[in-house]
Amino acid sequence: MEDTYRHKGLRRKLVEEIRKKGITDERVLDAIGKIPRHAFITDSALVEFAYRDAAFPINAGQTISQPYTVAFQTQLLQVQPHEKVLEIGTGSGYQGAVLFELSARVYTIERQRELHLKAQQLLGQLGYKLHFFYGDGYAGLPAYAPFDKILVTAGATEMPETLLQQLKTGGRMVIPVGDSEQQEMILVEKLSDGKITVSKHGTFAFVPFLKGKS
């Protein structure tokens, strides 16, 4: 995979664009500035647009999220080095690479086998060491729980209780919740006294969080 000066220049512009849109976390901006997004776009007709702040179709009718959305979710999650992070919806693997750049230990689940295999292969080539799982994200990963952070990158119709149970005390979960058209970005915090707080952070549009494996 070639990463040219042109790609690097386009990435710098992308970083400035999402900074203007309100992303302030320098670690998140640095991560976006490092990752060769053009390697994650599978459709050759779309590769030249890889550094536009837009979502693009990948295989299996799914999408690679818009960089602003990836940055927004990541910023809200407040990932610290060495934290154990569960990502639901591996997709292209781009969001997983961002989490890895933040020095998190990343566990990522995908229900489309094709995408799971592709992301595993690509991230391996790029040197991003994540733990990949093929399965239903609704079940989470009980064998590896609890997690410091949980990030859902598909639109849910409700808050999955199973995932909440797999969140550490003091942990944060970010999940878009709504209907098939649009979702509210929800931040769930599990406080030390066991209480849960929920806050809303704007409207987004994700592909659906579907039950079961494909």
Q: Any idea which residues carry the catalytic annotation?
A: 65
Selection from 39, 109, 23 nearest residue 71 by Cα: 23
Residue 48: which residues within 8 A CB-CB, separation 6 or more? Answer: none
Rank residues 123 and 169 by Cβ distance to ligand SAH and give the closer one.
123
3-state secondary structure at position 150: strand
User: How many whole angstroms separate alpha carbon 83 and alpha carbon 102?
Assistant: 9
Asked if 91 interacts with ligand SAH (CB under 6 A), we say yes
Rank residues 25 and 92 by Cβ distance to ligand SAH and give the closer one.
92
Contact pick of 36, 65, 86, 166 for ligand SAH (by CB under 6 A): 65
Asked if 111 interacts with ligand SAH (CB under 6 A), we say yes
User: How many whole angstroms separate alpha carbon 134 and alpha carbon 89?
Assistant: 10
According to CB under 6 A, which residues from 115 to 134 bind ligand SAH?
A: 115
Q: Are 200 and 212 in contact (CB under 8 A)?
A: no
According to CB under 6 A, which residues from 143 to 182 bind ligand SAH?
A: 153-154
Rank residues 192 and 208 by Cβ distance to ligand SAH and give the closer one.
208
Distance of CA 9 to the CA centre of its chain: 24
Question: How many chain residues are in contact with ligand SAH, going by CB under 6 A?
Answer: 24
Task: Name the pairing type of β-strands 105-110 and 131-134.
Answer: parallel
Asked if 86 interacts with ligand SAH (CB under 6 A), we say no
Q: Which residues bind ligand SAH (CB under 6 A)?
A: 62-65, 88-89, 91-92, 94-95, 109-112, 115, 136-138, 153-154, 207, 209-211
